[in-house]
Amino acid sequence: MNLQNTVKQKVAKAFEMAGFENANTLVRTSDRPDISDYQSNGALALAKTAKQPPRVLAEKIAEYLRADSFFKTVSVDGPGFINMTIADTALADMAYEVLSADKCGYERADMPQKIVIDYGGPNCGKVLHVGHLRSAVIGESIKRICRYVGDEVIGDVHLGDWGKPMGQIITEVQERFPNAPYFDDNHTGDYPAEAPFTAEDLLNIYPIASGKCKTDEDFNAKAKENTRLLQEGHPGYRALWKQFIAMSVADIKELYNILGIEFELWHGESNVQERLLKMVDRLKEKGHLVLDDGAYVIPMGKSKNGNDLPPMIVVKSDGAVSYGATDLATVEERVEEFNPDHIFYVIDARQSMALEQVFIASDKIGLYPMNKLEFLGFGTINGADNKPYKTRSGGVPTLRSLIDTAVEAALKKMEAGEMGKDLTAEEKQSISKIVGVSALKFADLMNDRTTNYIFDEEKLTGTEGKTGPYILYAMVRMKSILQKMNETAQITPADKVILSNPAERSLMLRLYGLPDMVQTAYDNRMPHVICDYLFKLAQDFNTFYHDCPIKGADEATQKSRLTLTKYTLRVMSQMTELLGLQVPDKM
């Protein structure tokens, strides 16, 4: 049960009593919260077929609603809107049943889906950069939202662990350690258990190698050749590759761990290479590939927005298989392994065309229908100049530096006494990590994912306005109120709510708004809807806290206010969980 559905049922019943069964009642939360809680625009829609003026119709229906003590007031306004305000007692009485339920009143109308979600997308051997924050954080949140509403979701990190960068790394390692057994064609037996370099060295190796490829033709040719040899199964290269992939994955896992990002699958581009070659043969055989300037392509036709799409290259003119083809083979693998209802891709919006090509190709070759493949693109993180964010020296900031920046900013605020006044020096150290990371994630998630946003280190950790710390602060306040009053977060049917102040009523209505809000976030795959809600809920709570003192109130009011605090904490905990935010006990 939830409030929205209860109102919908009551309005449908009133339409029925007025002689209109199964009418579209068009009930929604009011456009004018100053005059009503809910409105129904159904009479307007019905007027034509009913051959009655909408206001007359609306009045008839309103009469039935007025007879129900569930509503405090029911009015007919404008051309025939029905405006309804719920009685305070009705709001108070349904609190336990709705807000102590598993999902605080959320009910799913359609069937649960099975989803594979492709997010993260880090590249082995390379440092994760600012661009990797969004995919990880947004993807994780979308995964959690889908699970909340009941979907089965499998998250796949889709490692960039194949292709030319791998050959470049091998080539640079070969220059540094020419006598290592990986490069000795006469080597027999095992290869060394460990690579001759550290994880830190590895991160320097790739940029050097890729730099050399641009300036040194020989090196570039060698890197190409080494890529080919690796892909053909050269045993020494494979052994070396496995080692540096493992080092890299360990590094990536550590970062994702700090960010609270978890994957079910650690598959990569390399997982589908065998399948890919077979697929290419099959596509050639079936006549799906067209020769175009020495390359094998799949013709595309129009894109979603009506532009002509260039054909998708499957095999390049030099014989190498394309990056997009890897994605195509990955679709095949996912379909075989999981038979999902949808596959989501949480990827930089600048790659939308490449993925659209993959989706169209998948449809065309009868692999998996296009309408089940969803590109969930995101915009860039920009600097103050509104161009993609750069470090002072002009480089691309690393993900680690971004996290450090946020954590340091939080610590600085704690040391300056702007937050965490009562924390010990030790607590400041540990809690600034939680607050900094949550602030960073919230600052990213609160933006409509499709838009770019400006990274503002100062605003990020502010305790005023729409920030992570503002949300956390409200929750910490709730925890501390309960603690001071010797209360646990436990709620029982005996915990009654009494609404005696407008702030209590607004808070209650906001809490009841969760089901609709979650549905919107889910339908659009948009975590910022949850951020908006959390912000408004935190504001409502702060007004309530200010206007409705607990100490000094009579016993029943005191109990009710503590109960409201518990419900708010419960809802906020579930919603911060959907964003993947960690909440400290104090700050």
For ligand ARG, the binding residues (CB under 6 A) are 118, 121, 123, 158, 160, 327, 345, 347
DSSP β-ladder status, 38-40 and 27-29? antiparallel
503-to-63, 305, 514, 545 alpha-carbon distances in Å = 29, 46, 18, 9
Q: What is the 3-state secondary structure (H, E, C) of 355-375?
A: HHHHHHHHHHCCCCCHHHEEE
Question: C-beta of 444: minimal distance to ligand ARG in Å?
Answer: 17
Question: C-beta of 156: minimal distance to ligand ARG in Å?
Answer: 9
Measure the CA–CA gap between 63 and 66, rounded to whole angstroms. Answer: 5
DSSP β-ladder status, 342-348 and 381-382? unpaired
For residue 317, the 8-state DSSP code is T
Cβ closest to ligand ARG, residue 98 vs residue 213: 213
Measure the CA–CA gap between 239 and 245, rounded to whole angstroms. Answer: 10
Question: Mind giving me the DSSP string for 67-96?
Answer: TSTTEEEEEEETTTEEEEEE-HHHHHHTHH
Question: C-beta of 129: minimal distance to ligand ARG in Å?
Answer: 9
Measure the CA–CA gap between 534 and 567, rounded to whole angstroms. Answer: 13
Question: C-beta of 131: minimal distance to ligand ARG in Å?
Answer: 7
Question: C-beta of 123: minimal distance to ligand ARG in Å?
Answer: 5
191-to-234, 245, 484 alpha-carbon distances in Å = 13, 15, 62
Question: C-beta of 352: minimal distance to ligand ARG in Å?
Answer: 11
Long-range contacts of 302-311 (CB under 8 A, 24+ apart): 303/353, 303/356, 304/356, 309/353, 309/356, 309/357, 309/360, 310/357
Q: Do residues 373 and 144 touch, judged by C-beta distance below 8 A?
A: no
Cβ closest to ligand ARG, residue 37 vs residue 118: 118
Helix (H) or strand (E) holding 545: helix 528-547
For residue 290, the 8-state DSSP code is E
The residue length of the chain stands at 587
Question: C-beta of 118: minimal distance to ligand ARG in Å?
Answer: 5
Helix (H, G, I), strand (E, B) or coil at 115: strand
Question: What is the distance of C-alpha 307 from the center of its chain?
Answer: 29
Helix (H, G, I), strand (E, B) or coil at 448: coil
Closest CA to 157 of 140, 144, 169: 140
Name the burial class of residue 141, with classes exposed (0-12), middle (13-18) and buried (19+) by CB atoms within 10 angstroms of its CB: buried
Measure the CA–CA gap between 439 and 131, rounded to whole angstroms. Answer: 17
Cβ closest to ligand ARG, residue 85 vs residue 382: 382
**How big is the CA angle at 402 (ends 397 and 403), to the nearest 5 degrees?**
150
Cβ closest to ligand ARG, residue 209 vs residue 376: 376
**How big is the CA angle at 61 (ends 56 and 64), to the nearest 5 degrees?**
135
Cβ closest to ligand ARG, residue 140 vs residue 495: 140
Cβ closest to ligand ARG, residue 163 vs residue 515: 163
Question: C-beta of 373: minimal distance to ligand ARG in Å?
Answer: 11
Question: C-beta of 229: minimal distance to ligand ARG in Å?
Answer: 23
Please identify the residue of the shown chain whose CB is closest to the bound ligand ARG.
121
Cβ closest to ligand ARG, residue 37 vs residue 332: 332
Question: C-beta of 132: minimal distance to ligand ARG in Å?
Answer: 7
Question: C-beta of 413: minimal distance to ligand ARG in Å?
Answer: 33
For residue 192, the 8-state DSSP code is P
Question: C-beta of 300: minimal distance to ligand ARG in Å?
Answer: 17
Measure the CA–CA gap between 230 and 238, rounded to whole angstroms. Answer: 6
